[in-house]
Every structure is written in structure tokens, then in C-alpha cells.
Amino acid sequence: MSGGHSKAFEYFGVVPKNIRWSWSGRSPDGSSVAVRLWQDKFEEKGRIYRSWSDDEPGAWKSRPGFTELIENLVHARENLDGIVSVILLIAKDKDVSPRSIERSSPAPNLKMRVVELDEDAGTYLLERVG
């Protein structure tokens, strides 16, 4: 299972802090960021991806994978014109929480741009590029 996850990160040349809980990774030279996104959570026919807001305010800061994701989105916004690569996740069951991943695969033709990012709230909005 984790082999598939690490392969998706490797595809983009990025390194997650921890393959088990990371939701994103950054290349060693900082030239690229890849993020894991649930395929069924895209909005507007795949154009928009929004952070989930059903969390307790501030609760995200206790989750290292989410903290790393926000750090990587900040890095992308400040250094990469906001552009991130996407690893698509398919949930085993969309209705359970926490979800578990059935499939994880790189989406080489899908780039997203960070258009909104609130580092205090841990909320973000990504928009498809191209």
C-alpha cells in the first residue's frame, strides 16, 4: 500500500516528511510541490479544490500532515507562482471519517494554483491551471 503512495510522490520528485501522514511533499531544491487531493472533493467540474472546513478552529495545527501541507502551500505561493502538482486520491469509502486511501496516483496533466491561503485558519482554495 505505502509503495503506491511513495511512488506518486517520487513521480514528481518531491519528498514528504513522513510517507504515512504527509499530504504533500517538496522537492529537495524547492522547485516543486505536490499535494494529495481527494478526487471526489473537487468542485466546479474539477476546476476548484477547497480545504475542508468541518474542523474545530485551530485543530489542524495538531496534525503534522496538515501543518506540512500549509507550509508547502505557502512555499508554492511565495516561490512557485502558487503552482502545485497533484496526486489524486480515491477513497475506499467516501462517507467514513477518517477516510482511507484505496488508490493514489500522480496526475501529470493537472496543475493547481494556490489562489487563497489563510495560514492562521488553515484554509485554502486551489484553482486549476490551464
pLDDT at 55: 59
Q: CA-to-CA distance for 106 and 10, rounded, in angstroms?
A: 9
pLDDT at 129: 97
Q: CA-to-CA distance for 72 and 35, rounded, in angstroms?
A: 8
pLDDT at 1: 35
Q: In the beta sheet, which residues pair with residue 86? A: 35, 107
Helix runs in 12-58, H state only: none
Q: Residues 80, 32: contact at Cβ < 8 Å?
A: yes
pLDDT along the chain (130 residues), means of 10: 71 92 95 96 95 69 88 97 97 88 94 95 93
